Copies of this chain bind each other. A is one copy, B any other.
Amino acid sequence: MAASGVRLSDVAQAAGVGTSIASRVLNGDPTVSVRPETSERILEAAKTLNYRPNAFARGLKLARTMTLGMIINLAYSENLELIASVERRAAISGYVTVLADANEFVERGEAYRRLLLEGRVDGLLIATGMGSNAFVRELYEQRLPLVLLNRRLRSGGPSVTVDDAQGVREAVRHLVSLGHRRIGHIGGPGEVDVSRRRLAGYQAGMRAASLEFFSEQAELELPAEEGGFVAMERLLTAHPRPTAVTVWSVTAAVGALAAVRRGGLEVPSDVSVVALHESPVAAFLEPPLTCVQMPLREMAEKSVDTLLGVVEGNQVRSTVIRLPAPRLVERSSTAPPRASAPAAPARRVRAAASSARAGAR
């Protein structure tokens, strides 16, 4: 039971004209010259009848749905920022956004079938690291209108990303400038390409300062907080212990901070922590978390523009969003290392770790 019920023919009839000019007047067709009075009547009728053209009929005729699809992991609440940015930008261009959870995408590409093959969308934004590159490449080869968001593919179609490596290098640089030498890294799940780029940034930063790496990757299955917790626990067993750690996301850093505390150590006096990305929670954590803010909104908006370019059939290129540049927001989780780094390893508190996990259930 469709809601509206007022059709173009109703408007035309009310204005005493045919549907043909009604359509052209309402769409502002410049090639048609109607007598202003007629045009007036049509606009008037449309307004009083509260007329809105049926999107599906229009889509059928024009082979344009004015709809974009977005495939993204709906389990990570950080992702809502990307979703919101995409939705808003798409709306400005008159598009609506339909969501598909990344799992569906991975599971035999069902999402892509539901959206693209059924002609529900004009193009697809793939904003998940899940799904094999081979599969994505296959989609590209079918010349489907899609762009990768926050993911890159060596060879393949257009993508829009930020400079993750640069962001982490910024974090490392900050720590080095504070005097840290033993700096660790907690990376995201290794299968995901953003994780790899962030790890690479960490390594580059360390190399630039002639320092040694040590990093731990969070696992994909865990909630990010717990992944950060577990990884930090492992990092603290190193001898000698790192005096500072870069973390791949704020959410993971929440867990990492907890791990330091429950290990009987303090941030920042024993361990400094910097996280990639910025978030409203950062300022309220214990201690307030130093972050590197990345241009995520700009990335999301650019991905929409790029996709619309593809849809128009333009030649588009992959983009790395570099502006605004990654900005270090200094809070209290970073400080110079203690003059005398204690040689004793961190007190491991296994019980605390498992109770945290139990609590998270």
**Chain A: residues with CB nearer than 8 A to chain B?**
1-4, 50, 52-57, 59-60, 63, 65, 67, 74-81, 83-84, 87-88, 91, 96-101, 104, 113-120, 122, 142, 144-145, 223-226, 229, 251, 254-255, 257-258, 261, 280-286, 288, 311, 313, 329, 331, 356-357, 359-360
Closest to A139 in B: B3
Residues of B within 8 A of A331 (CB): 359
Which of A88, A91, A117 has most B Cβ within 10 Å? A117
Smallest distance from the beta carbon of A129 to chain B beta carbons, Å? 17
With contacts A1-B313, A284-B229, A356-B283 taken as known, whether A114 is within 8 angstroms of B87 at the C-beta atoms is no
With contacts A257-B284, A356-B288, A360-B280 taken as known, whether A113 is within 8 angstroms of B52 at the C-beta atoms is yes
In the complex the two chains form, what is the Cα distance from A145 to B4 in whole Å? 11
In the complex the two chains form, what is the Cα distance from A357 to B63 in whole Å? 49
Residues of B within 8 A of A91 (CB): 100-101, 104, 114
Choose one: B2, B87, B114, B281; the contact of A99 (CB below 8 Å). Answer: B87
In the complex the two chains form, what is the Cα distance from A80 to B80 in whole Å? 6
Which of A79, A83, A122 has most B Cβ within 10 Å? A83
Which of A56, A104, A114 has most B Cβ within 10 Å? A56
With contacts A2-B119, A283-B359 taken as known, whether A96 is within 8 angstroms of B96 at the C-beta atoms is no
The 5 A-B residue pairs whose C-beta atoms are closest, nearest first, are A74-B84, A283-B359, A52-B117, A286-B286, A283-B360
In the complex the two chains form, what is the Cα distance from A114 to B80 in whole Å? 21
In the complex the two chains form, what is the Cα distance from A359 to B291 in whole Å? 11
Residues of B within 8 A of A56 (CB): 56, 59-60, 65, 119-120
Contact B65 A75 (CB under 8 A): no
Contact B55 A4 (CB under 8 A): no
In the complex the two chains form, what is the Cα distance from A54 to B75 in whole Å? 30
Contact A114 B96 (CB under 8 A): yes
Closest to A332 in B: B359
Residues of B within 8 A of A261 (CB): 286
The contact sample of 7 A-B pairs, CB cut-off 8 A, is A1-B63, A54-B119, A56-B59, A87-B101, A88-B101, A229-B284, A288-B359
In the complex the two chains form, what is the Cα distance from A356 to B289 in whole Å? 11
Contact A280 B101 (CB under 8 A): no
Smallest distance from the beta carbon of A30 to chain B beta carbons, Å? 23
Contact A97 B98 (CB under 8 A): yes
Contact B284 A1 (CB under 8 A): no
Residues of B within 8 A of A360 (CB): 280, 282-284
Smallest distance from the beta carbon of A81 to chain B beta carbons, Å? 7
Contact B142 A3 (CB under 8 A): yes
| Contacts A3-B144, A57-B119 supplied; 11 other A-B pairs, CB < 8 Å | A1-B63, A2-B63, A3-B119, A3-B145, A50-B117, A54-B118, A67-B120, A74-B88, A91-B100, A226-B284, A255-B284
Smallest distance from the beta carbon of A93 to chain B beta carbons, Å? 12
Residues of B within 8 A of A76 (CB): 80
In the complex the two chains form, what is the Cα distance from A2 to B360 in whole Å? 45
